[in-house]
Amino acid sequence: MCTMDLSNRDFSYREQGLIASLFVTLIVFGGYFYSAFTKLALNPAMPSIAELIFVVILVIVFESIMQIFIRLKNTSQSEDERDRLIEKISYKYGYWVLSACTWFLLVQLLLDATFDHLTVFSTPSGIFHLLLLFFVLAEVAHFVVQLYYYRRGF
C-alpha cells in the first residue's frame, strides 16, 4: 500500500535541504510575483535589471544561510543511488510543468494575435513575467516531487 507517512518527522539531510529551497523559492518569488502581477495591469513596463538582481541575491543569501545551517546540523551529508533516482524523476515532472505552461503561453499568444485582442499578458513585460513564473513553477514541482518520493518511497 502506498501512503505518505507524515507522522515520521525524521527528515533526512536531503529532505531538509529541499524544504529550505522550497520555502525560500516560495517566499522570495511569491513576493516578487505578487508585486509584479498586481502592478502589471497599471504599469506594463519591463522590470528593471536592478529589481531582478535584488531578487536573485535574496534567493542566494537566504538559500546559503539555510543550507549552511542544515549542513552544520547534519553529520551525514552523503548521496546515494536512491537520491539520484528521485532527483531524476523530479526533473521529469519539472519538465512537464515547464512544457505545459509554455504551450499554454504559446496558445494564448496565438489566440491574442488571431482575434486581435491583446491582453496584458501579451505585452513584453507580461510574457517576461509569465516565462519567469513558469520556470519557478517547474522548480517548485522539482522540489515537491522529490519531497513526495522521499516520504512515500517507491
| Contact criterion met (CB below 8 Å) for 77 and 35 | no
Among residues 7, 43, 76, 114, the one that binds other proteins under rule CB under 8 A: 76
Segment contacting other proteins by CB under 8 A, of 23-31, 60-68, 79-87, 107-115: 79-87
Minimum gap (Å) between residue 12 Cβ and other proteins = 4
Question: Residue 98 and residue 137: Cα distance in Å, rounded?
Answer: 7
Helix H or strand E encompassing 132: helix 124-152
Segment contacting other proteins by CB under 8 A, of 16-24, 95-103, 114-122, 146-154: 146-154
Among residues 4, 12, 92, 104, the one that binds other proteins under rule CB under 8 A: 12
For residue 152, state whether it binds other proteins (rule: CB under 8 A). Answer: yes
For residue 81, state whether it binds other proteins (rule: CB under 8 A). Answer: yes
- Give the position of cell 545551517: 69
Residues with Cβ within 8 Å of 77's Cβ and at least 6 positions away in sequence, in order, are 13, 71
Question: Residue 132 and residue 59: Cα distance in Å, rounded?
Answer: 14
Residues in contact with other proteins by the rule CB under 8 A: 1, 12-14, 76, 78-83, 150, 152-154
